[in-house]
Amino acid sequence: MNKPATAVLRCSNVIKQYDSEPDSPRILDDLNFELFAGQSVAIVGASGSGKSTLLHILGGLDQPSAGEVFWNGENISVFNEADLGLQRNLNLGFVYQFHHLLPEFSATDNVAMPLRLRGIAKAKARAQAQAWLATVGLEHRMNALPGQLSGGERQRVAVARALVTEPKALLADEPTGNLDTHTADLVFAEMKRMNQTLGVALVLVTHANSLAEKCDIVMRLHEGRLIREN
Protein backbone atom coordinates (compact mmCIF):
# COMPACT_ATOMS: atom_id res chain seq x y z
CA MET A 1 0.00 0.00 0.00
CA ASN A 2 1.33 3.44 -0.91
CA LYS A 3 2.06 5.74 2.01
CA PRO A 4 -0.25 8.78 1.94
CA ALA A 5 1.47 11.95 0.76
CA THR A 6 2.34 14.56 3.35
CA ALA A 7 0.64 17.89 2.82
CA VAL A 8 2.99 20.66 1.77
CA LEU A 9 0.89 23.10 3.78
CA ARG A 10 -1.60 22.29 6.51
CA CYS A 11 -3.35 24.25 9.20
CA SER A 12 -5.31 22.57 11.96
CA ASN A 13 -8.09 24.24 13.97
CA VAL A 14 -6.64 27.69 13.36
CA ILE A 15 -8.31 30.62 15.09
CA LYS A 16 -7.30 34.25 14.64
CA GLN A 17 -8.57 37.04 16.84
CA TYR A 18 -7.09 40.51 17.02
CA ASP A 19 -8.52 41.09 20.50
CA SER A 20 -7.31 38.95 23.39
CA GLU A 21 -10.80 38.64 24.86
CA PRO A 22 -12.12 35.06 24.40
CA ASP A 23 -15.43 36.23 22.96
CA SER A 24 -13.94 38.78 20.54
CA PRO A 25 -14.76 38.35 16.82
CA ARG A 26 -12.80 35.65 15.02
CA ILE A 27 -11.15 36.56 11.72
CA LEU A 28 -10.45 32.86 11.20
CA ASP A 29 -12.75 30.46 13.03
CA ASP A 30 -11.49 26.92 13.70
CA LEU A 31 -10.15 26.70 10.18
CA ASN A 32 -8.67 23.55 8.63
CA PHE A 33 -6.81 23.50 5.33
CA GLU A 34 -4.30 21.31 3.52
CA LEU A 35 -2.54 21.47 0.18
CA PHE A 36 -0.43 18.86 -1.58
CA ALA A 37 2.38 19.07 -4.12
CA GLY A 38 1.13 20.00 -7.57
CA GLN A 39 -2.24 21.29 -6.34
CA SER A 40 -3.47 24.82 -6.87
CA VAL A 41 -6.11 26.51 -4.75
CA ALA A 42 -7.72 29.92 -5.13
CA ILE A 43 -9.02 31.63 -2.01
CA VAL A 44 -11.70 34.21 -2.73
CA GLY A 45 -13.91 36.32 -0.52
CA ALA A 46 -14.97 39.84 0.33
CA SER A 47 -12.43 42.49 1.27
CA GLY A 48 -11.66 42.19 4.97
CA SER A 49 -12.74 38.56 5.15
CA GLY A 50 -9.30 37.43 6.30
CA LYS A 51 -7.76 36.09 3.08
CA SER A 52 -4.42 37.86 3.51
CA THR A 53 -4.40 36.99 7.21
CA LEU A 54 -4.77 33.31 6.33
CA LEU A 55 -1.95 33.56 3.80
CA HIS A 56 0.32 35.24 6.36
CA ILE A 57 -0.42 32.51 8.90
CA LEU A 58 0.24 29.77 6.35
CA GLY A 59 3.53 31.51 5.53
CA GLY A 60 4.62 31.88 9.15
CA LEU A 61 4.49 35.68 8.88
CA ASP A 62 1.73 35.90 11.50
CA GLN A 63 0.80 33.63 14.38
CA PRO A 64 -2.64 32.14 14.98
CA SER A 65 -4.41 32.83 18.25
CA ALA A 66 -4.94 29.07 18.49
CA GLY A 67 -4.30 26.04 16.30
CA GLU A 68 -1.28 24.78 14.41
CA VAL A 69 0.42 25.22 11.04
CA PHE A 70 2.55 22.53 9.39
CA TRP A 71 5.06 22.70 6.54
CA ASN A 72 5.78 19.26 5.08
CA GLY A 73 4.49 17.67 8.25
CA GLU A 74 6.52 19.83 10.65
CA ASN A 75 4.75 21.98 13.18
CA ILE A 76 6.27 25.42 12.63
CA SER A 77 5.58 26.49 16.22
CA VAL A 78 8.68 24.52 17.27
CA PHE A 79 10.99 26.81 15.27
CA ASN A 80 12.73 29.81 16.81
CA GLU A 81 12.79 33.00 14.70
CA ALA A 82 16.07 32.13 12.98
CA ASP A 83 14.99 28.59 12.12
CA LEU A 84 11.57 29.82 11.00
CA GLY A 85 13.24 32.23 8.57
CA LEU A 86 15.49 29.47 7.24
CA GLN A 87 12.63 27.02 6.80
CA ARG A 88 10.52 29.70 5.12
CA ASN A 89 13.36 30.36 2.66
CA LEU A 90 13.66 26.62 1.95
CA ASN A 91 9.95 25.85 1.64
CA LEU A 92 8.02 28.89 0.47
CA GLY A 93 7.95 31.54 -2.22
CA PHE A 94 5.85 34.70 -1.96
CA VAL A 95 4.34 37.01 -4.59
CA TYR A 96 2.36 40.08 -3.57
CA GLN A 97 0.18 42.65 -5.32
CA PHE A 98 3.10 45.07 -5.05
CA HIS A 99 6.34 43.57 -6.32
CA HIS A 100 8.57 44.79 -3.45
CA LEU A 101 11.68 44.84 -5.63
CA LEU A 102 14.74 46.69 -4.34
CA PRO A 103 15.02 49.74 -6.62
CA GLU A 104 18.81 49.99 -6.54
CA PHE A 105 19.37 46.39 -7.68
CA SER A 106 19.04 44.94 -11.18
CA ALA A 107 16.44 42.33 -12.05
CA THR A 108 19.15 39.68 -11.77
CA ASP A 109 20.28 40.77 -8.32
CA ASN A 110 16.70 41.08 -7.05
CA VAL A 111 15.99 37.50 -8.09
CA ALA A 112 19.31 36.28 -6.69
CA MET A 113 18.62 37.80 -3.26
CA PRO A 114 16.92 34.74 -1.64
CA LEU A 115 19.84 32.55 -2.75
CA ARG A 116 22.38 35.01 -1.38
CA LEU A 117 20.49 34.90 1.93
CA ARG A 118 21.09 31.13 1.90
CA GLY A 119 24.81 31.77 1.61
CA ILE A 120 25.10 30.74 -2.03
CA ALA A 121 28.05 32.34 -3.81
CA LYS A 122 27.23 35.48 -5.79
CA ALA A 123 28.21 34.13 -9.22
CA LYS A 124 26.17 30.94 -8.78
CA ALA A 125 23.18 32.83 -7.37
CA ARG A 126 23.22 35.29 -10.29
CA ALA A 127 23.45 32.46 -12.81
CA GLN A 128 20.41 30.74 -11.30
CA ALA A 129 18.58 34.06 -11.18
CA GLN A 130 19.24 34.68 -14.86
CA ALA A 131 18.00 31.20 -15.75
CA TRP A 132 14.71 31.97 -13.97
CA LEU A 133 14.40 35.36 -15.61
CA ALA A 134 14.73 33.61 -18.96
CA THR A 135 12.05 31.14 -17.86
CA VAL A 136 9.59 33.99 -17.28
CA GLY A 137 10.51 35.63 -20.60
CA LEU A 138 12.81 38.39 -19.33
CA GLU A 139 16.18 37.29 -20.71
CA HIS A 140 16.41 40.69 -22.43
CA ARG A 141 15.79 42.65 -19.19
CA MET A 142 18.23 41.00 -16.78
CA ASN A 143 20.33 44.11 -16.15
CA ALA A 144 17.42 46.56 -15.95
CA LEU A 145 16.56 48.31 -12.70
CA PRO A 146 12.96 48.03 -11.46
CA GLY A 147 12.31 51.65 -12.45
CA GLN A 148 13.15 50.76 -16.05
CA LEU A 149 10.62 47.91 -16.19
CA SER A 150 6.91 47.91 -16.93
CA GLY A 151 4.45 46.82 -14.24
CA GLY A 152 4.07 43.40 -15.82
CA GLU A 153 7.83 42.98 -16.12
CA ARG A 154 8.34 43.91 -12.48
CA GLN A 155 5.76 41.37 -11.40
CA ARG A 156 7.40 38.66 -13.51
CA VAL A 157 10.69 39.49 -11.80
CA ALA A 158 8.86 39.00 -8.49
CA VAL A 159 7.58 35.62 -9.69
CA ALA A 160 11.12 34.59 -10.70
CA ARG A 161 12.39 35.69 -7.28
CA ALA A 162 9.72 33.59 -5.56
CA LEU A 163 10.58 30.51 -7.63
CA VAL A 164 14.39 30.75 -7.73
CA THR A 165 14.65 28.78 -4.48
CA GLU A 166 12.48 26.01 -6.00
CA PRO A 167 10.01 26.21 -3.10
CA LYS A 168 7.54 23.52 -2.14
CA ALA A 169 4.71 26.07 -2.18
CA LEU A 170 4.04 29.48 -3.73
CA LEU A 171 1.83 31.88 -1.79
CA ALA A 172 0.42 34.64 -3.99
CA ASP A 173 -1.60 37.53 -2.53
CA GLU A 174 -3.47 39.40 -5.30
CA PRO A 175 -0.36 39.05 -7.52
CA THR A 176 -2.10 40.48 -10.58
CA GLY A 177 -4.19 43.14 -8.83
CA ASN A 178 -2.31 46.08 -10.38
CA LEU A 179 -2.05 44.63 -13.89
CA ASP A 180 -4.24 44.84 -16.97
CA THR A 181 -6.09 41.68 -17.95
CA HIS A 182 -3.61 40.57 -20.64
CA THR A 183 -0.55 41.07 -18.43
CA ALA A 184 -2.32 39.46 -15.47
CA ASP A 185 -2.98 36.38 -17.58
CA LEU A 186 0.71 36.20 -18.56
CA VAL A 187 1.91 36.49 -14.96
CA PHE A 188 -0.59 33.92 -13.71
CA ALA A 189 0.32 31.57 -16.56
CA GLU A 190 3.93 31.52 -15.34
CA MET A 191 2.87 30.59 -11.82
CA LYS A 192 0.47 27.90 -13.05
CA ARG A 193 3.14 26.47 -15.37
CA MET A 194 5.54 26.05 -12.43
CA ASN A 195 2.71 24.52 -10.44
CA GLN A 196 2.08 21.94 -13.16
CA THR A 197 5.63 21.23 -14.37
CA LEU A 198 7.54 21.36 -11.06
CA GLY A 199 4.76 20.35 -8.70
CA VAL A 200 4.95 23.61 -6.74
CA ALA A 201 1.80 23.86 -4.63
CA LEU A 202 0.04 27.17 -5.34
CA VAL A 203 -2.17 29.21 -3.02
CA LEU A 204 -3.69 32.18 -4.82
CA VAL A 205 -5.64 34.91 -3.04
CA THR A 206 -7.54 36.81 -5.70
CA HIS A 207 -10.61 38.89 -6.48
CA ALA A 208 -10.42 37.82 -10.13
CA ASN A 209 -12.87 35.02 -10.81
CA SER A 210 -11.24 34.42 -14.21
CA LEU A 211 -7.98 33.46 -12.44
CA ALA A 212 -9.62 31.58 -9.58
CA GLU A 213 -11.42 29.31 -12.04
CA LYS A 214 -8.06 28.21 -13.48
CA CYS A 215 -7.05 26.67 -10.15
CA ASP A 216 -7.83 23.07 -9.19
CA ILE A 217 -9.78 24.13 -6.12
CA VAL A 218 -11.72 27.32 -5.38
CA MET A 219 -12.51 28.11 -1.75
CA ARG A 220 -14.44 31.07 -0.37
CA LEU A 221 -13.51 32.53 3.01
CA HIS A 222 -16.73 33.61 4.68
CA GLU A 223 -17.23 34.41 8.36
CA GLY A 224 -13.91 32.81 9.21
CA ARG A 225 -14.60 29.51 7.46
CA LEU A 226 -13.40 28.10 4.16
CA ILE A 227 -16.17 26.83 1.90
CA ARG A 228 -15.25 24.84 -1.20
CA GLU A 229 -16.99 26.13 -4.33
CA ASN A 230 -16.05 23.47 -6.90
Q: What is the pLDDT of residue 127?
A: 94
Ordered by start, the domain boundaries in the chain are 9-228
Confidence of residue 3 (pLDDT cuts 50, 70, 90): very low
| pLDDT tens digits, one per residue of 133-155 | 988 888 899 999 999 998 888 88
Cβ distance 101 to 110 under 8 Å?
A: yes
Report the candidate in 175, 178, 177 with the shortest Cα–Cα distance to residue 40: 175
Q: What is the pLDDT of residue 88?
A: 86
- CATH number assigned to the domain with residue range 9-228, chosen from the 4 options 3.40.50.300, 3.40.50.720, 3.40.50.620, 3.65.10.10: 3.40.50.300
